[in-house]
Every structure is written in C-alpha cells, then in structure tokens.
Amino acid sequence: MNNNASPTNTDERRLTIAEALREAIAQEMERDPRVFLIGEDIGIPGGFGGAFGVYLGLPEKFGHERIIDTPISEKAIAGAAVGAALMGMRPIPDMQYSDFLFECMDELVNQAAKMRYMSGGKLSVPLVMRCPVGTANRGAQHGQCPESYFIHVPGIKVVAPSDAYVAKGIMTAAIRDDDPVLVFEHKLLYGSKGREQAGGLDLTAHVPEGDYVFPIGRGLIKREGHHVTVVATHLTLYRCLAAAAELALEGIEVEVIDPVSLQPFDTDLIFSSVEKTGRLLIAHEDTLTGGWGAELAARVADDCVYSLEAPIKRVAAHDVPLPVAPILEQTVVPSQERITREIRALCAM
Amino acid sequence: MTERINVDDVTTERALDLYREMLRIRRFEDRVYQLFLQGELPGTLHQYQGQEAVAVGACQALNDGDWITSTHRPHGHALAKGVTVRSAMAELYGKATGCCGGKGGSMHLGDPDVGMIPAIAIVAGGVSVVSGMGLAFKMQRNGHVALCFFGDGASNEGAFHEGLNFAAVQKLPIVYVCENNMYGASTPFTATSLVPNVADRVAGYGIPAVIVDGMDVLAIHDAVSEARQRAAAGDGPTLIEAKTYRFAGHSRGDARGYRSRDEEAEWKEKDPLVRLEYSLLNAGRAQESTFARILDEVNTELEDAVEFSRQSPDPRPEDALTDAYATPIGTGTHS
Ligand SMILES: Cc1ncc(C[n+]2csc(CCOP(=O)(O)OP(=O)(O)O)c2C)c(N)n1
Ligand SMILES: [Mg+2]
C-alpha cells in the first residue's frame, strides 16, 4: 500500500499549512456549534489573527462569542478549555508558542489527561491545543519542541503535521476526537513567511476543498527506499528528504517516514519499514535525551530486533537550551549535513 | 503642546545625565531597528521607544548591589542598568563579545556584573523569580533591593498574583515597576481587566501601589527612590505603575492595526525626551546646543558599538555545547 495519501498534481488546489489549518477550523466551526477558539491575540480587530495569522478572517465569520480573546493567562486558557470540554463543548485553545505550555502544565497533565480515567470513563475532554514549535533565532524561551513531554502523559494524544494536506486532515480529526489532542506545528513551515529560513522549501500542498480526516495514529511514507528507514517530523523531515535525495546519488536509497502522530505512533508502518530496510535513524529538533526518538527506538528495538542489521541511530538537538546566535543555533539543531553524514555512516555499518 | 515637567528640584547636571541616558536608549533602538531591516541582526525585536523614562528613572534610583529583572522588551532596562552599549549591541549581533556571549540575544539581555539577570521572555516570569532574589537579600541582610520590570499584560498571569502576595507576606525588599503601555501585544489592557489600573489589583495584597506619569523621568525616579527606601528598611514591597506608551509596534513587523494613529499622536506629544528638553530650555537651564552636543556624543558611542559588533568574532560553534551545566555531564551519543 502506498501510504503517501497526498497527491502531488501541481494543477490542483495548493494551500500553505496556515491556510489548511484555518480551513479545517472554519469547516469544523461551521459544522459543529460546540467548536470554539480561545487564546491570546487571536481575534483582536486590527490584530494578528493569532501569533502566526492562522485565524485571520475567522472573527468576521464566526464572531467574538466563538473566538474568545483572553488576557495573558495560560492557566485560564487551558483551564477554561478543560472545563468547557467537560461540559460538552469542543474548545481549541491556542498557545502562541509551545514554550508557554509550561504555564499550564497542571491543567493539561493533571486535569485534561486524567478526567476520563478518574471518572471511570464517564467524562471526556475533547480539546485541541495548538502549539507552535521550532527554532527561529529567538533564543532559549521561544523555540523549544516540547512534544516529548506530552507523549509521556497517558490520556493525551500528540500529533505533529508537517504538510498542508496532513495539517487540514489531522486538525479535523483532532477536533472530532473525544480525547485531548496537542497539535504541534512548526513555525517555519506555516507558509511563505518561513520559506527563506526553512531553506527555500515549497511549503504548499494539494488540499481538497471539502472536509476530510487524516486519522490520528497514521504515518506516511514520504519517500520509498530499501537501505535505511528514517523517521522525522517538521523541518527536520524536510532536511531528511533533502539528505535522501543527496544520498540517492551515492546509491543509498533512504525510506523517509513522517510519523505524523507521536502518541500513538504508527508502529505498523514503522516496523514494516524497518523489517524491510534493517536500519533505522530517527531525527528530531527536540533535544536527544528523553525525546520521542528514544521511545520509538525502544519500541523498534523490542519488536524488530531480528530485522535490525545495525544499531538504531538518533540525530537530535544537542542537550543544551537553544542559543540565539545563528552559528550556535545551527550547531545545536540537526542540519541536513549532519543528517546526511549520520545516514551514510549508518549504512556503512 | 508639550507639557512641562517639574525640574525645580533637580540639578541641571543630573537632569542632563538622565536625558543622556534616555537618549542613548532612544538612539540605540532607532539604530537597531535600521540594522534589523538591513538584515544585519537575526531574530526579532521588541522595542522600547517611548518608555525610556521608566527604565532610566527607576534604575537611577537604585544602589550598587541592587538587581533587576526584565522582560521580552529589555533593551532599555539593560542600558539603564549599566550594560554597556557595546556588549548589548554585540549580543543583538549574536557575537562572542555580547553580554551573553551570543547565547541570549535580544530577549535575554542581561549581565550579572551590573546586577541584571538575563531578561525573562516568559511574560511575568520575572515576577516569580524576583521573590527569591528579594528573599535571598533578606536572608543575607545585605540591604540590597531587587527591582522587577514587567508590563500591564503580565499582571494577568498567575505568576503576578502569587509572586506579589508571597513577597508582601514575607515583606521582601522588592520594587515592582509595572510599565503600563496600555497593550499586551495587540490586546488593550482594558479588554483584560475590569479595573482600570494595575495598581487597583494590588490592594488585595496589602502593599502600597503608586501610579506615576511614565513619561516623566523625574517622577519615576522619585517614586522608585521612595519605594526602594521602604524596601531596604524592611517594610516590604511597593508596586509602581508607570503610565506609558510604546511608540513602535509590539515586535518587528507589527502594523499596529489595533490602535489609532490619533492615540499614537497624543502620546508622542508626551515624549519623555522632548518633555525634559523642553522643560529645561524653558527654565533657562540649558541651551539647544547642549542637547545637540549630547546627541552627537550618543551617536558616536552608538556607531562605535556597531563597528565593535561588526568586527567582533562569532562564537565558536563548540561554544554552543558549554554552559548548560556547571560541569559537563556527558549526555549520550552526539554527532
Ligand atoms: C507566558 C507567555 N505568554 C505569552 C507570551 C507572548 N507574549 C510576548 S510579549 C506579550 C505581551 C506582553 O504584554 P505586556 O506584559 O503588557 O508587555 P509589553 O509587551 O507591553 O512590554 C505576549 C502575549 C509570552 N512571551 N509568555
Ligand atoms: Mg504592555
């Protein structure tokens, strides 16, 4: 089966990730009156439409009763989302930057994640937290990738779309899901704005006009190959794809997988790829120790031990906070060059 | 019409010093903005034009050994506290000679040598941390005071309320300086609070709160001096709410569509630099040429800092891997 569900016919309707997310949210708000947005600077007239413009145009369409601007109060945002979700609404709370999630860890970890379980399955917390991640020369408190903190919390689902087709479908799936879902999006992948810093990528993809679901828990093969499996998300995924193109010239065929969901992982897809290639490299922009790559590596080690022909490798940010100077930042987060080198070394083992 | 401020109780020399300090910040910010547009500076910027009187008035009221905390908008605080123009500028360039060695950047300017921890870009983060700084000074009985700068928007965070209450109960030697510039990013303070002043919120914690004209450097200075004395005497914290305005957008590329040009023009009339200059001229205390000379000197200092930053070396790539721990702990395989 070809898991690459995203058609690439260039004549088709192409959207950026920001546009795709906006479309998903608008369609779900249209479809379901329980869905509403809540966060800082999301709907102020003359304002920003959220930190990355994803909500531009929505207040005009849905009004300020369903697009609720809050004070700078992440605990209030997350707490209100949990409470409203418990009482039958479908809130989409917004974190301008993922780094601010730490302001509302209690509401997410102690409340959202545990209400279903503590109630013996009688309650649901269907909220969708939007969480932008990624390094962009803003230093230690505005560039972290904290996805992995949350895969550790039973009761929370974690997804990380990297292209517009998946973004629309997984946002729709998340809104319709009965559990709390954290949607991590990369700042440099939203659209044309980040293009330059993201290395001149074309970040648009074909996006069907109607609503559709990209299921949580399903990954995608972005490029087929038989020598080594590489699993990566977000900007790092694109660096891996570029590395794969480079290595193809040397005769190394890399299979690149976008896991899309980090909790739950699409283990079927990843295991069968590793069974085919015998080698696995996991790459992420989050730091190495305790990153989601560690969890995935452990699962593959468990399940695919007889298929593995070499140790599982991880390429991750070094275990330091993010520095701001470009030369330091480039050293810390995985570069295409570092990824290429590591894949090459792994294939030589 | 420019409104005069009271310059009767200050020596001309002192007033001109304050003017120079404010002008240094203003010109630093203007110059930095140009450099940013030219693509010389990485990242983003939160600029301080319009609020100079607060940083300068407050920091000038502190003693040696006192410390400050700052925010995502720290350039003015840093310069006013004594971070050199060279090391602040070099930090914005991400150079090894910057005050944080290129690791901090615009949002984390600071320098322990002058009593400033790296600015905290998490809104209200400083309000939490300053409690501990004050607590340490109290336990150390050293007479030092910690001053916490934060914005109107920060008063909506839980950290503000927990921090203030704790400091109040413990009678910690802290001065809170809230720069109420009427907006948190695009959001008007009035849309986030049913009481019109941040000071009104403080009544619940049983500490004094003072509202001052944030466009009058002398008024700020006096208010902070008094609050500092109170703090150092063991009588606990004071909150000072400075009514001010940021002339620029929230961060780079903010078209300021959420506020009116009329409102901006009204506040430009209150420019703290123009007001001080006008008041001194009017009182016959200084000549136009005095201000021209100060501008010249400040510009020279700035160009020197720009040149210094351009010439300064980048950090070495391997410097990225130091400073996470006091002693490297060796974490796993890195390539
Ligand atoms: C905890 C947290 N939430 C949100 C932000 C994003 N943010 C940065 S500055 C800002 C506005 C701050 O307003 P205010 O405290 O009034 O300071 P000002 O920008 O006016 O100086 C916001 C929302 C942040 N940095 N930290
Ligand atoms: Mg403000």
Contacts of B263 (CB under 8 A, 6+ apart): none
Total-model pTM: 0.96
φ, ψ (nearest 5 deg) of residue A289: -70, 120
For residue B121, the ligand closest to its alpha carbon is 1
Cβ contacts (< 8 Å) between B315 and chain A: which residues? 323, 325, 327-328
Give CA–CA dist A313/A293, Å, rounded. Answer: 9
For residue B124, the ligand closest to its alpha carbon is 1
A 10 A CB-CB count for A298 gives: 11
pLDDT tens for each residue of A41-63: 999 999 999 999 999 999 999 99
Interface mutation target, options B70, B122, B201, chain A, most CBs of A under 10 Å = B122
Question: By mean pLDDT, which of A11-20, A116-125, A159-168, A185-194 is the weakest?
Answer: A185-194
CB of B153 closer than 6 angstroms to any ligand 1 atom: yes
Residue A126 contacts residue A180 (beta carbons within 8 Å): yes
Give CA–CA dist A318/A285, Å, rounded. Answer: 9
Give CA–CA dist B331/B335, Å, rounded. Answer: 12
Q: State both tokens at B108.
A: 């984390």
Q: Is the pLDDT score of A274 beyond 90?
A: yes
**Hey, where are the domains in chain A?**
14-206, 220-347
Residue A73 contacts residue A94 (beta carbons within 8 Å): no
In ligand 1, the atom with minimum distance to the C-alpha of B157 is 1
Residue identified by tokens 């009767």 is: B8
For residue B1, the model assigns a pLDDT of 76
In ligand 1, the atom with minimum distance to the C-alpha of A103 is 1
Contacts of A197 (CB under 8 A, 6+ apart): A136, A188
Min Cα–Cα distance to chain A from B27, Å: 23
pLDDT-derived band of residue A125, with 50, 70 and 90 as boundaries?
very high
Determine whether the interchain pair A69/B191 forms a contact, defined as Cβ–Cβ distance below 8 Å.
Answer: yes
> Is residue A267 helix, strand or coil?
helix
Residue A19 contacts residue A213 (beta carbons within 8 Å): no
Residue A98 contacts residue A131 (beta carbons within 8 Å): yes
Same CATH fold assignment for domains A14-206 and A220-347: yes
Q: Is the pLDDT score of A10 beyond 80?
A: no
Largest CA distance in chain A: 59
Architecture of domain B12-250+285-317: 3-Layer(aba) Sandwich (3.40)
pLDDT-derived band of residue A2, with 50, 70 and 90 as boundaries?
very low
Residue identified by tokens 């293009």 is: A195
Determine whether the interchain pair B158/A44 forms a contact, defined as Cβ–Cβ distance below 8 Å.
Answer: no
For residue A4, the model assigns a pLDDT of 44
Question: Quick one: fold of A14-206?
Answer: Rossmann fold (3.40.50)
Query: Measured in Å, how far apart are chain B's first and last C-alpha atoms?
Result: 63
Specify whether the backbone of A83 is left (phi greater than 0), alpha (psi in -120 to 50) or beta: alpha
Helix axis angle for A336-347 and A234-248, nearest 10°, is 50
For residue A182, list its beta bridge partners.
A129, A158
| Size of chain B in residues | 335
Q: What is the residue type of B191?
A: A
pLDDT-derived band of residue A5, with 50, 70 and 90 as boundaries?
very low
* Average pLDDT, 10 consecutive residues per value, chain B (335 residues): 91 98 98 96 95 98 98 98 98 98 98 98 98 98 98 98 98 98 98 98 96 98 98 98 98 94 98 98 96 98 98 97 90 50
Query: Measured in Å, how far apart are chain A's first and last C-alpha atoms?
Result: 29
Residue B214 contacts residue B76 (beta carbons within 8 Å): no
A 10 A CB-CB count for A63 gives: 10
Residue B98 contacts residue B41 (beta carbons within 8 Å): no
Residue B78 contacts residue B113 (beta carbons within 8 Å): no
Residue of A138, A321, A342 with shortest CB distance to B107: A138
φ, ψ (nearest 5 deg) of residue B297: -65, -40
What radius of gyration do chain B's Cα atoms show?
Answer: 20
Min Cα–Cα distance to chain B from A140, Å: 7
Average pLDDT over residues A103-112: 98
Query: Which three-class secondary structure string do you get for B259-285?
Result: CCHHHHHHHHCCCHHHHHHHHHHHCCC
Sheet holding B209-213, edge to edge: B67-69, B146-151, B174-180, B238-243, B209-213
Residue A207 contacts residue A14 (beta carbons within 8 Å): yes
For residue A194, the model assigns a pLDDT of 52
Instruction: Search chain B and give the residue with CA nearest A50.
Output: B186
Residue A163 contacts residue A347 (beta carbons within 8 Å): no
For residue B330, the model assigns a pLDDT of 72
Sheet holding A280-287, edge to edge: A220-223, A254-258, A228-232, A280-287, A313-317
Residue B83 contacts residue B116 (beta carbons within 8 Å): yes
DSSP state of A113: T
Question: Quick one: fold of A220-347?
Answer: Rossmann fold (3.40.50)
Q: Is the pLDDT score of A9 beyond 80?
A: no
